[in-house]
Amino acid sequence: MSIKLGDTAPNFQADSSLGNIDFYEYLGDSWGILLSHPADFTPVCTTELGFTSKLQSDFEKKNTKVIALSVDGVEDHKKWIDDINETQNTEVKFPIIADKDRKVSEQYDFIHPNASATATVRSLLIIDPEKKVRLIITYPASTGRNFNEINRVLDSLQLVDSHKIATPVNWNDGDDVIIPPSISTQDAKNIFPKGVTEIKPYLRYTPQPNK
Protein backbone atom coordinates (compact mmCIF):
# COMPACT_ATOMS: atom_id res chain seq x y z
CA MET A 1 0.00 0.00 0.00
CA SER A 2 1.34 3.42 -0.96
CA ILE A 3 0.27 6.44 1.08
CA LYS A 4 0.17 9.83 -0.60
CA LEU A 5 -0.54 13.38 0.53
CA GLY A 6 -4.25 13.87 1.14
CA ASP A 7 -4.91 10.18 1.80
CA THR A 8 -6.67 9.13 4.98
CA ALA A 9 -4.12 7.67 7.38
CA PRO A 10 -5.06 4.03 8.06
CA ASN A 11 -6.19 3.17 11.55
CA PHE A 12 -4.50 0.33 13.41
CA GLN A 13 -4.38 -1.39 16.77
CA ALA A 14 -0.98 -2.40 18.11
CA ASP A 15 0.98 -3.05 21.26
CA SER A 16 3.36 -0.31 22.33
CA SER A 17 5.69 0.77 25.10
CA LEU A 18 2.60 2.27 26.79
CA GLY A 19 0.27 -0.67 26.22
CA ASN A 20 -2.24 -1.49 23.50
CA ILE A 21 -3.12 1.48 21.29
CA ASP A 22 -5.88 2.26 18.81
CA PHE A 23 -4.27 4.90 16.60
CA TYR A 24 -7.42 6.94 15.96
CA GLU A 25 -8.37 6.89 19.65
CA TYR A 26 -4.84 7.94 20.58
CA LEU A 27 -4.95 10.91 18.21
CA GLY A 28 -8.50 11.96 19.06
CA ASP A 29 -9.00 15.47 17.66
CA SER A 30 -5.28 16.24 17.69
CA TRP A 31 -2.73 16.53 14.93
CA GLY A 32 -0.31 13.62 14.84
CA ILE A 33 3.34 12.98 14.05
CA LEU A 34 4.10 9.34 13.20
CA LEU A 35 7.77 8.48 12.80
CA SER A 36 9.24 5.10 11.88
CA HIS A 37 12.62 3.72 12.93
CA PRO A 38 14.57 0.80 11.41
CA ALA A 39 15.30 -0.86 14.76
CA ASP A 40 15.83 -0.27 18.45
CA PHE A 41 19.27 0.64 19.80
CA THR A 42 20.28 2.47 16.63
CA PRO A 43 22.41 5.58 17.21
CA VAL A 44 20.79 8.11 14.86
CA CYS A 45 17.29 7.21 16.01
CA THR A 46 18.36 7.40 19.64
CA THR A 47 19.27 11.06 19.14
CA GLU A 48 16.04 11.70 17.21
CA LEU A 49 13.72 10.22 19.84
CA GLY A 50 15.57 12.10 22.55
CA PHE A 51 15.12 15.39 20.71
CA THR A 52 11.47 14.58 19.96
CA SER A 53 10.93 13.97 23.65
CA LYS A 54 12.34 17.40 24.47
CA LEU A 55 9.92 18.96 21.95
CA GLN A 56 6.87 17.11 23.26
CA SER A 57 5.59 20.00 25.40
CA ASP A 58 5.89 22.31 22.37
CA PHE A 59 3.95 19.84 20.24
CA GLU A 60 1.26 19.58 22.92
CA LYS A 61 0.80 23.36 22.81
CA LYS A 62 0.14 22.91 19.09
CA ASN A 63 -2.46 20.19 19.78
CA THR A 64 -0.12 17.57 18.32
CA LYS A 65 0.61 14.05 19.57
CA VAL A 66 3.74 12.06 18.74
CA ILE A 67 3.94 8.30 18.19
CA ALA A 68 6.95 6.30 17.03
CA LEU A 69 7.27 2.84 15.45
CA SER A 70 9.96 0.19 15.27
CA VAL A 71 9.88 -3.44 14.14
CA ASP A 72 11.22 -4.63 17.51
CA GLY A 73 9.15 -5.77 20.50
CA VAL A 74 7.84 -4.00 23.58
CA GLU A 75 10.52 -5.22 25.98
CA ASP A 76 13.26 -3.97 23.67
CA HIS A 77 11.40 -0.67 23.33
CA LYS A 78 11.36 -0.22 27.10
CA LYS A 79 15.07 -0.97 27.39
CA TRP A 80 15.81 1.40 24.50
CA ILE A 81 13.75 4.14 26.14
CA ASP A 82 15.93 3.75 29.25
CA ASP A 83 19.00 4.28 27.05
CA ILE A 84 17.41 7.29 25.33
CA ASN A 85 16.51 8.89 28.65
CA GLU A 86 20.02 8.30 29.99
CA THR A 87 22.04 9.43 26.96
CA GLN A 88 19.80 12.29 25.76
CA ASN A 89 18.94 13.69 29.21
CA THR A 90 15.18 13.43 28.75
CA GLU A 91 12.12 11.34 29.64
CA VAL A 92 10.32 9.75 26.70
CA LYS A 93 6.58 9.86 27.40
CA PHE A 94 5.10 9.13 23.97
CA PRO A 95 4.47 5.53 22.83
CA ILE A 96 6.69 3.46 20.55
CA ILE A 97 4.69 0.92 18.55
CA ALA A 98 5.90 -2.69 18.54
CA ASP A 99 5.56 -3.84 14.94
CA LYS A 100 7.33 -7.22 14.90
CA ASP A 101 4.91 -8.60 12.28
CA ARG A 102 5.41 -5.42 10.19
CA LYS A 103 1.65 -5.06 9.79
CA VAL A 104 1.61 -1.31 10.46
CA SER A 105 4.81 -0.77 8.46
CA GLU A 106 3.22 -2.40 5.43
CA GLN A 107 0.02 -0.36 5.86
CA TYR A 108 2.10 2.81 5.82
CA ASP A 109 4.59 1.75 3.13
CA PHE A 110 7.51 1.94 5.56
CA ILE A 111 9.25 -1.12 4.05
CA HIS A 112 11.36 -0.22 1.00
CA PRO A 113 12.94 -3.44 -0.35
CA ASN A 114 15.78 -1.65 -2.13
CA ALA A 115 16.81 -0.10 1.18
CA SER A 116 16.08 -3.12 3.41
CA ALA A 117 13.88 -6.16 2.96
CA THR A 118 13.02 -6.30 6.65
CA ALA A 119 13.64 -2.98 8.39
CA THR A 120 11.49 0.11 8.05
CA VAL A 121 12.82 3.23 6.36
CA ARG A 122 13.00 6.40 8.42
CA SER A 123 9.78 8.10 7.40
CA LEU A 124 7.77 10.79 9.14
CA LEU A 125 4.13 11.75 8.56
CA ILE A 126 2.13 14.71 9.81
CA ILE A 127 -1.56 13.81 10.09
CA ASP A 128 -4.28 16.42 10.64
CA PRO A 129 -7.33 16.11 12.96
CA GLU A 130 -9.40 14.77 10.02
CA LYS A 131 -6.84 11.93 9.77
CA LYS A 132 -5.54 13.23 6.42
CA VAL A 133 -1.84 12.87 5.62
CA ARG A 134 -0.38 16.37 5.19
CA LEU A 135 3.38 15.72 5.09
CA ILE A 136 5.56 12.73 4.20
CA ILE A 137 9.34 12.87 4.58
CA THR A 138 11.64 9.86 4.16
CA TYR A 139 15.27 10.09 5.22
CA PRO A 140 18.27 7.85 4.51
CA ALA A 141 19.43 5.77 7.46
CA SER A 142 22.59 7.84 7.87
CA THR A 143 20.94 11.27 8.17
CA GLY A 144 19.12 12.46 11.27
CA ARG A 145 15.77 14.15 10.79
CA ASN A 146 15.56 17.94 11.00
CA PHE A 147 12.92 18.61 13.64
CA ASN A 148 13.24 22.36 13.13
CA GLU A 149 11.85 21.74 9.63
CA ILE A 150 9.12 19.44 10.94
CA ASN A 151 8.10 22.08 13.46
CA ARG A 152 8.15 24.72 10.71
CA VAL A 153 5.88 22.67 8.45
CA LEU A 154 3.48 21.98 11.33
CA ASP A 155 3.28 25.74 12.03
CA SER A 156 2.63 26.40 8.35
CA LEU A 157 -0.06 23.73 7.98
CA GLN A 158 -1.93 24.91 11.06
CA LEU A 159 -1.76 28.53 9.92
CA VAL A 160 -2.87 27.65 6.39
CA ASP A 161 -5.85 25.73 7.78
CA SER A 162 -7.00 28.68 9.88
CA HIS A 163 -6.37 31.47 7.33
CA LYS A 164 -6.55 31.84 3.54
CA ILE A 165 -2.79 32.05 3.04
CA ALA A 166 0.29 30.15 1.90
CA THR A 167 3.84 30.36 3.27
CA PRO A 168 6.88 31.30 1.12
CA VAL A 169 10.33 29.80 0.86
CA ASN A 170 12.17 29.46 4.19
CA TRP A 171 9.17 30.88 6.03
CA ASN A 172 9.24 30.76 9.82
CA ASP A 173 6.54 31.54 12.34
CA GLY A 174 6.07 35.33 12.42
CA ASP A 175 7.29 36.02 8.88
CA ASP A 176 5.12 37.55 6.14
CA VAL A 177 2.86 35.12 4.31
CA ILE A 178 1.62 34.83 0.72
CA ILE A 179 -1.90 35.62 -0.50
CA PRO A 180 -3.08 32.84 -2.86
CA PRO A 181 -3.79 33.82 -6.51
CA SER A 182 -7.42 32.72 -6.04
CA ILE A 183 -8.01 35.88 -3.95
CA SER A 184 -8.13 39.17 -5.87
CA THR A 185 -6.03 42.06 -4.62
CA GLN A 186 -9.17 44.05 -3.83
CA ASP A 187 -10.63 41.19 -1.80
CA ALA A 188 -7.26 40.67 -0.14
CA LYS A 189 -7.30 44.26 1.16
CA ASN A 190 -10.58 43.49 2.90
CA ILE A 191 -9.52 40.06 4.17
CA PHE A 192 -6.07 41.07 5.44
CA PRO A 193 -6.31 44.30 7.47
CA LYS A 194 -2.57 44.34 8.20
CA GLY A 195 -1.95 45.33 4.59
CA VAL A 196 -1.12 43.88 1.19
CA THR A 197 2.21 44.24 -0.62
CA GLU A 198 1.95 43.45 -4.35
CA ILE A 199 5.17 42.41 -6.10
CA LYS A 200 3.35 40.95 -9.09
CA PRO A 201 -0.40 40.40 -9.54
CA TYR A 202 0.18 36.76 -8.58
CA LEU A 203 2.80 37.43 -5.86
CA ARG A 204 1.44 39.36 -2.89
CA TYR A 205 2.47 39.37 0.74
CA THR A 206 0.74 40.24 4.00
CA PRO A 207 1.98 40.15 7.61
CA GLN A 208 1.22 36.85 9.30
CA PRO A 209 -2.35 36.80 10.65
CA ASN A 210 -2.88 36.24 14.34
CA LYS A 211 -3.20 32.59 15.29
Tens-digit pLDDT profile for residues 14-45: 999 999 999 999 999 999 999 998 889 999 99
Q: Are 109 and 182 found together in one domain?
A: no
Its pTM stands at 0.92
Q: How many domains does the chain divide into?
A: 2
pLDDT for 111 equals: 75
- Residue 29: predicted pLDDT: 97
The answer on 139 and 68 residing in a single domain is yes
Q: Are residues 53 and 84 in the same domain?
A: yes
List the domain range (segments joined by +) for residue 75: 7-144
- pLDDT > 90? residue 78: yes
pLDDT score recorded for residue 18? 97
**Torsion of Cα atoms, 102 then 31 then 37 then 18, to 10°:** -70
Contact between 56 and 93 under an 8 Å Cβ cutoff? The reply is yes
* pLDDT for residue 104: 92
User: What letters, b where the CB count within 10 A reaches 16 and e where it falls short, cover 149-176?
Assistant: ebbbbbbbbbbeeebebebeeebeeeee
Residues annotated catalytic, as ranges: 45
The answer, yes or no, to whether residue 133 has pLDDT greater than 60, is yes
Q: Is there a single domain that holds both residue 103 and residue 179?
A: no
* Domain contains 121: yes
In-domain check, residue 1:
no
Separation between Cα atoms, residue 35 and residue 16, nearest integer Å: 14
Mean pLDDT calculated for residue range 40-51: 94
